[in-house]
Structure 1
Amino acid sequence: MHTLEPFYRWRSFYVASEDVNSPFYQREYSEFEFTHAIYDHVIHPQWDEIGSPTLFMKLIYADYMDGYAVIELIGEWNDCIHNDIMILKRDIIDELMNAGLSKFILIGENVLNFHSSDDCYYEEWFEDVEDLGGWIALINFREHVIQEFSSANIDHYFVCGGKLDDLSWRTLSPEKFCSNIEKYVQKRLA
Structure 2
Amino acid sequence: MHVIEPFYGWLKYYDSSKDEYSPFHGKEYNYDTYSDTIYGYYIDPGWDFMGSETLYVKILYLDYDQGYAVIEFIGEWNDALNNDIMHLKRNIVDELLAAEITKFILVGENILNFHGSDDSYYEEWFEDVEEGWVTAIGFRDFVLAEMNQFNIDTYINSGGNLEVINWRTMKPQLLCQLIDGLIQKRLGV
TM-score between the two structures when normalised by the length of structure 1: 0.97
Question: Cα offset for 1:40?
Answer: 2.1
The alignment partner of 2:4 has SS state of: coil
Question: Cα offset for 1:166?
Answer: 5.1
Q: Show structure 1 runs of 5+ residues with no match.
A: none
Segments ≥4 residues shifted beyond 3 Å: none
Residue in 1 aligned with 2:174? 176
Residue in 2 aligned with 1:89? 89
Asked whether 1:41 is paired with 2:35, we answer: no
Match of 1:188 among 163, 186, 189: 186
Residue in 1 aligned with 2:56? 56
1:75-132: CA deviation from partner (whole Å, max 9, x where unpaired): 00000000000010011000001011000000000001000111110000000002xx
Q: Distance in 1 between matches of 2:81 and 2:24?
A: 25
Aligned residues: 188
Asked whether 1:71 is paired with 2:35, we answer: no
Q: Distance in 1 between matches of 2:155 and 2:165?
A: 20
Q: Distance in 2 between matches of 1:56 and 1:164?
A: 23
Question: Cα offset for 1:61?
Answer: 0.2
The alignment partner of 2:77 has SS state of: strand
Residue in 1 aligned with 2:24? 24
The alignment partner of 2:95 has SS state of: helix
Letter in 2 for 1:158: I
**Identity across aligned pairs (percent)?**
54
When the two chains are superposed, the root-mean-square deviation of aligned CA atoms in Å is: 0.8
Q: Distance in 2 between matches of 1:160 and 1:174?
A: 19
Give the stretch that moved more between structures: 96-105 or 162-171: 162-171
Residue in 2 aligned with 1:154? 152
Asked whether 1:110 is paired with 2:110, we answer: yes
Q: Show structure 2 runs of 5+ residues with no match.
A: none
